[in-house]
Structure 1
Amino acid sequence: MDLYTTVFEMIDMRSFSNLWYWIALAVAWSSASHWVLGVPYDMVLRARRLGGQAERDLEDMVRINVNRLLYIVRVSGAWGMGIACFLLTVLALSGFVYRLEFAQSLFLLGFPMSLVGLLNSATAHQIERERPSGELLRKRLMRCRTYTQMIGMASIFVTALWGMYQNLSLGVLG
């Protein structure tokens, strides 16, 4: 058995029947809902529970991450959006028109994550505009996390349905 065969047995290009794809999907959504604007959610909970220095640390961390995110958006936002739209279009066409399962799986992971990216950008703009602190800041972060989790649940549901359909249809045909 050569290296090429071994690698492609480990990384099966039929993504929906591969355990690694589902692990990657779970890790991606778990990370996306834990890191709200680059701030770990446990830091938000600690600030609510303890106040004081934990609250100031949260506000500083949010300020740093919001400024960083908005700098990236302002400097390369149009190019980033164009490249992301191009890549998502290529994945959608390759996956759903040309029936390439690997492209379908990447699209079903990438498209909802791009929505989370837009949500984070909008939340960062709102935080920059309002300059909230304390309870209002925590409320903004919790709302962003809740919407991220809603997008994640819908994404996992749709991906699971599509994956089951793919596995059943290939199982019947193959």
Structure 2
Amino acid sequence: MTLTQTIFEVIDMRSFSNLWFWIMLAVIWSMVSHRVIGVPFDMVARAKRLGGQSERDLFDLVRINVNRMLHLAHVAGSWLIGLMAFGLSSLALLAFWYDVEFAQAVVLIAIPLSLVAMMRFALARRIAAEQPDLQALCKRLARHRFWVQVIGMISIFVTAMYGMYQNLSVAPGF
């Protein structure tokens, strides 16, 4: 047995049975749910609790990120939607028509993240239109974070179920 064969026997290089995939999945959803439209959620709690400079910092950071996102949507929105649709549909085709396991793993991460991205752009547009006060802004950001966490939990659950199915379907004797 060669060294390469030994390494590939000891370390499974498939996506759903690889520990690094599951660590990456947890880190991605942790990072996505911590930042609401680019604003760390601890800033929202601090601004609600302390007010003053923390409140001004929150409004400034929200304004900067909202303007940045709206500018991106205005300048390249149609192109981004087209490229994302092409990329996701190509990836889904590779994943489920051609049965590429790595593509399946990426699809199970990318599709929920694209839904979160659409929600972020909608929230940015709503914040820019309404110009909410501190309480309304904090409530909107908290509600957005809650729904991102719900999507993340559903995504992790579906990925875990599909990953277990994949691992059991390729195991010897099944």
TM norm. shorter chain > 0.5: yes
Residues 1:165 and 2:162 are matched in the alignment: no
Aligned AA for 2:134? G
- Over 3 Å counting, the alpha-carbon distance change for 1:9 and 1:146 in structure 2 is farther
TM-score (norm 1): 0.92
Q: What is aligned with 1:66? A: 66
> Which amino acid in 1 is paired with 2:112?
P
Distance 1:43 1:10, change over 3 A: farther
Once the two structures are TM-superposed, the CA of residue 90 in structure 1 deviates from its matched residue by 1.0
Describe the shift of the 1:53–1:8 C-alpha distance in structure 2 as closer, same or farther (beyond 3 A).
Answer: farther
Equivalent residue, structure 2, for 1:30 = 30
1:54 is matched with 54
Aligned to 2:132, the other structure's residue is in SS state coil
The residue that corresponds to 2:123 in the other structure is 123
Three-state SS of the structure 1 residue aligned to 2:99 is coil
* Whole-angstrom distance in 1 between the partners of 2:94 and 2:10: 23
Percent of aligned pairs with the same residue? 56
CA contact (8 A) 1:46 1:54 kept: yes
Using the size of structure 2 for normalisation, the TM-score is 0.92
The whole-number CA distance in structure 1 between the counterparts of 2:10 and 2:95 is: 21
- Equivalences for 1:87-166 in 2 at 5 Å? 87-166=87-166
State the distance in 1 between where 2:122 and 2:172 align. Answer: 45
Match of 2:81, as an amino acid?
A: M
Relative to its length, the structure with more helix (as a share) is 1
Structure 1: which 4+ aligned runs deviate by more than 2 Å? Answer: 4-13
Q: What is the CA RMSD across the aligned residues, in angstroms?
A: 2.3
Q: Where do 5+ consecutive residues of structure 2 fail to align? A: none
- Distance in 2 (CA, whole Å) between partners of 1:91 and 1:173 is 30
CA contact (8 A) 1:59 1:133 kept: no
1:53 CA displacement = 1.1
Shift in Å at residue 133 of structure 1? 2.0
Range with bigger deviation, 99-108 or 7-16: 7-16
User: Displacement of 1:172 after TM fit?
Assistant: 3.9
2-side partners of 1:165 and 1:58: how far apart? 44
Q: Is the 8 A contact 1:95 1:103 kept in 2?
A: yes
Structure 1, unaligned stretches of length 5 or more?
none
Residues 7-16 or 41-50, more deviating: 7-16
CA shift in 2, pair 1:168/1:72, >3 Å: same
- Distance 1:6-1:50 versus aligned 2 partners, 3 A rule: farther
